[in-house]
Chains A and B, each alone.
Chain A
Amino acid sequence: MKILIKNGRVIDPANRIDRPADLLIDRTTIQRTGDSIILKEPHEVIDASGCLVLPGLIDMHVHFREPGREDQETIIGGSIVAAKGGYTSVCTMPNTTPVIDNQALVRFIKLEADNGPINVHPIATITKGAQGVEISEMGELVKAGAVGFSDDGRPVMNSLVMRRALEYSRMFDTPIITHSEDISLTEEGVMNEGINSVLLGLKGIPREAEEVMIARDVILTRLAKGRLHVAHISSRGSADIIRRAKEEGIDVTCETAPHFFALTDAAVAKHLSMAKMNPPLRTEDDRLAMIEGLRSGVIDVIATDHAPHLSNEKMQEIAYAPFGIVGLETAVPLIISILVKEHGFPYIDAFSKVTSNPARILKLEAGTLSEGSIADITIINPDKKVRIDEKFITSKCKNTPFLGMELYGSVECTICNGQVVYRKK
């Protein structure tokens, strides 16, 4: 059966297209886009009046907690939440229990995801056991379906190991994705080091913990002629280092998270552990640097770092609570409200960060509306407000500082592989 999406505004960042058009899906592929498509055969019609018709969104940094912490989230459960957030492809980080460092576990994730609504692409560890000592069997992992390598949350502190990983991974053209942090500088920090941490008497995490490591990693990437993707950058200094590396021709890309362009460390006093993540929320200057970096292209990707934690884990004294917030359902409203409506980003630019750019970095067959491509489509009403409350967040874990906010940007429908996987009631 064909699906005709009518009267929408088609935004296709991969082809730099932004125009009113209809879009026709034939089974699992996009047949064509065009003005006022009329079909004689029976078909389903989705009215997208007033809505954006986008390639299905890609989140290259999520934590679905399976295997190990299925009480927090599962591959299927996380996929359903992602579909509701407008995502048709996600990349799961390997810091589960056990960590994803062998082909059997990569295949397990893909097998689980086969019964879910969207595409799940596993990221495997850089090193065996994420111990930072010996590099993983990258060839086997890629063959099993891994799209990138990361020891997320446990930075590879040994520079030689990092060099070898960057060198070895070249033969698969698969990026090394770093959580860049010098953990000796972080100590027991719980929030950004600065005026707010000093006033609140909380241990700070200096921006330098992140910047020192990014500087090392881009320099090692130059040495190894490898491919580096820096996860969740949060500071102006980090963006500057990556800008200079790019100018120098080093093969580096990076992402930031919606909370880094939405909030500052002033949120900690009010939201307490709900505003605790690593890297931490920084200052207003850093927040603006994230927006500038996204505008200039220094920052390629917006990824959520979706990190579910149970209420009883988060509802503790801030020093004891774990790092991380959920983000899959708030990303679209934050992109629309802050980047598009407040800072005037063209839709093509804003949404390239969650479609064509991550697809390019990870070599995914996704993130485009070209004729003949797989029918992954997200329909968003950018002028409809959503209220972020515990009902809106369907994720099992509600750990987000955005509760209570009203934002523009309502995901109306998500189509993955030609199937409607989410439809707003």
Chain B
Amino acid sequence: MSGLQRKDLLDIESLSVEEIKLICESARYFKDLFTRSVKTVPVLRGKTVCLLFYEPSTRTRISFELAAKRLSADLINISVATSSVVKGESLIDTVHTLEAMKADIIVMRHAVSLAPHFLSQNINASVINAGDGFHAHPTQALLDAYSIMEKRGSLEGLHIGIVGDILHSRVARSDISVFKMLGARVTLVGPPTLVPDEFRKYGVDIAYNLDEVLPDLDVIQMLRIQKERQKGNMFPSIREYHKLFALTSQRLDRCKKEIIIMHPGPMNRGVEIQDAAADSPSAIINEQVTNGVAVRMAIFYLLAGGAPLEGINKE
């Protein structure tokens, strides 16, 4: 077996469990590099990676950028404000321009669901989805899974809670898929306006009372709550949301001792998560960021045709 036998990474659902494990194993190798004084390897030398961001992003964009640089790729960084997008160029024309410049891998973030799928159907370069609409954020989900694996060895049998605005969260959708594929039990927690019943059909539990499920959870992923959602009558006030669904120090006390606290960032401290939880030894929020770079290096490497790295690890 050599690398990922695919052109694109668009969503979790199109990956096999073997591919997910391969990405995580490769990420472990790349993470080892971070402890060295020279953190770059020449595996993507001569390849061109293009970051095409139609939506503002700091964390994800920097993570991809760092991953590409540590693999010695040539990097083009296009974000909405500085591109011809503001002049009204269509996505398809922008993409053909990039193709004419021989970009090898395009990393795209877009506000419209399925935009990367549309892109991949119309371009020969590899496409990596860096988040599309409310649909998918596969690299975030893979780094979340990798981060749990690093702590617990495997996700098999773990009970993972995802708390917050599931309806508007691409992270939640991709997390649900990857956690379920790796054998975890998933419970979604939030108000009915933000937690669509349809997810039950996919073998996911739904709870409206965080306190009831909390003592049973091995992992808790807290999602950022956007204040604008209040305008759509999704919840009456931040105050009430905080009371019902925030991870507070009191709630932290009722968690299992070995609980893993996660957050995809950026955090709203004092809204969905209190300092006591965000900064507790159980939180791996900064570790998620470090792992994000390693996982994205692994994805670049494997999509570019790189062979599995287990052998190298053993040497």
Contact = CB atoms under 8 A, between A and B. Distances in A.
Interface of A: 194-195, 198-202, 269, 272-273, 312, 315-320
Interface stretch (B68-76, B130-138, B285-293): B130-138
B199 A202 contact: no
Interface of B is mostly: mixed
A268 B48 CA distance: 32
B34 interface: no
Given A315-B122, A318-B118, A194 B198 contact: yes
B236 interface: no
A317 B110 CA distance: 9
B124 interface: no
B114 interface: yes
A201 B135 contact: yes
B304 to A, nearest CB: 26
Given A199-B173, A200-B135, A201-B133, A317 B115 contact: yes
Interface in B181-219: 196, 198-199, 201-202
A316 to B, nearest CB: 6
A36 to B, nearest CB: 54
B133 A202 contact: yes
Interface residues of B, number: 25
B90 interface: yes
B113 interface: yes
A272 B134 contact: no
B114 A315 contact: no
B91 A318 contact: no
B117 interface: yes
B112 interface: yes
B149 interface: no
B92 interface: yes
Contacts of A272: 114, 117-118, 121
What 4 pairs across the A-B complex have the smallest Cβ distances? Answer: A201-B134, A201-B135, A317-B112, A198-B198
Contact of A316 (B91, B132, B134): B91
A312 B90 contact: yes
Contacts of B61: none
A367 to B, nearest CB: 41
B296 interface: no
Of A198, A202, A272, A316, which is in contact with the most chain B CB atoms at under 10 Å from its CB? A198
Contact of B135 (A194, A202, A316, A320): A202
A134 B198 CA distance: 42
B263 interface: no
Contacts of B122: 315
B198 A317 contact: no
B92 A316 contact: yes
B204 to A, nearest CB: 11
B170 interface: yes
A201 B198 contact: no
Contacts of A315: 90, 92, 118, 122
B173 A317 contact: no
A121 B170 CA distance: 48
Interface string B111-154: 01111011001100000000011111000000000000000000
Contacts of A200: 113-114, 135
A320 B198 CA distance: 25
Contact of B198 (A195, A202, A312, A319): A195
Contacts of B91: 316-317
Interface string B154-168: 000000000000010
Contacts of B135: 199-202
Nearest to A312: B90
A318 B202 CA distance: 25
24 contacts: A194-B198, A199-B135, A199-B198, A199-B202, A200-B114, A200-B135, A201-B113, A201-B132, A201-B134, A201-B135, A201-B173, A202-B133, A269-B117, A272-B118, A312-B92, A315-B92, A315-B118, A316-B92, A317-B112, A317-B118, A318-B112, A318-B114, A319-B112, A319-B133
Of B113, B121, B202, which is in contact with the most chain A CB atoms at under 10 Å from its CB? B113
A202 B113 contact: yes
A273 B198 CA distance: 23
Contact of B113 (A195, A312, A318): A318
Interface in B45-89: none
Contacts of A269: 114, 117
A143 B92 CA distance: 47
B282 to A, nearest CB: 30
A153 B209 CA distance: 43
Of A194, A312, A317, A320, which is in contact with the most chain B CB atoms at under 10 Å from its CB? A317
Of A200, A312, A319, which is in contact with the most chain B CB atoms at under 10 Å from its CB? A200
A421 B114 CA distance: 42
Interface string B171-184: 00100000000000
Contacts of B117: 269, 272
B136 A201 contact: yes
